[in-house]
Amino acid sequence: MSKYDKIIEKVFFDNFKKGKKRVSFTRDELATASDALGFPRIKNLGDIPYSYRFRKDLPESISTTASSGKDWIIVGTGIASYEFRIASPAKIQPSLNLKRIKIPDATPEILKKYAAGTDEQALLAKIRYNRLVDIFLGITCYSIQNHLRTTVDGIGQIEVDEIYIGVNSKGVHFSIPCQAKSPGDSFGIVQAMQDIALVKQTYPSTVCRPLVLQFLSESDVAIAEVDVVEEKDEFRLLIVDERHYSLVPKGDIDDDEQRRISTNR
């Protein structure tokens, strides 16, 4: 068990009581737990909850206290304050059996040369140049900000990979916070909760439609719209819609295929 695992485990069980669905703690408690376990003081204590919110799984000793099919997550509740909460599920990955929709690749050739690969920056660039957010949602969208790091009331500091503002044919305005993922990564409910809270605070007159963007390969992209609902003090991560796209040369889409798609639309 790692140092982080031992510290977060101690903090959890120092505050947990059977049947509780919320377990609060502060950054100071992380320091106290570290001292009690005899570890040298960690300079960036905030990295401990951050790791379990976005990168690591919680220790099994904590996970097994949740009911079957449910998970503990860590959410920010303010500056240097956090809370374990029950969610189902905590993380999702792209579906394995969706048909891939062919889209003529509009990525500039020079960008393909210098932004090759499947990292998050290449993904965001390809999404933007191919207008995949517009295509997926069926509305006109404009990138308004990327790599945003800000503070949300009641949560603390958050990060969003990109935000689009959209408008539909009836003039309704939308805010579309996007989280970009590399192949094999999972998307967590915590990120969706933060994105929704950010939109409520920053763009309260718009309709929030959070998206997950993920490379399946260098030319294949999965996009999912997600939502979070709270029921009986538990959070559920819902997939509203999901589609997979293949960015292909124009020659890979023939007229017969287009007629077949048009007939079955």
Burial of 218 (0-12, 13-18, 19+ CB in 10 A): middle
| Structure token digits, residue 217 | 């390969």
Encode pLDDT of 158-193 as tens digits: 899 999 999 999 999 999 999 999 888 889 899 999
Helix, strand, coil % in the chain, rounded to nearest 5: 30, 35, 30
Q: In the chain, what are the domain boundaries?
A: 3-88, 100-252
- Tell me if the pTM is above 0.75: yes
> How far apart, in whole angstroms, are the C-alpha atoms of residue 180 and residue 186?
10
Distance of CA 265 to the CA centre of its chain: 30
Q: Please give the chain's pLDDT, 265 residues, in tens.
A: 799 999 999 999 999 998 889 999 999 999 999 999 999 888 899 999 999 988 889 999 999 999 888 999 999 988 889 999 999 888 889 998 899 999 999 999 998 888 777 788 899 999 999 999 999 999 999 999 999 999 999 888 889 999 999 999 999 999 999 999 988 888 989 999 999 999 999 999 999 999 999 999 999 999 999 999 988 788 999 999 999 999 999 888 877 777 776 766 6
Encode pLDDT of 107-121 as tens digits: 999 988 887 777 888
Position 85: which residue type?
Answer: R
The pairing of beta strand 91-92 with beta strand 187-188: antiparallel
Which of 118, 136, 131, 119 is CA-nearest to residue 219?
118
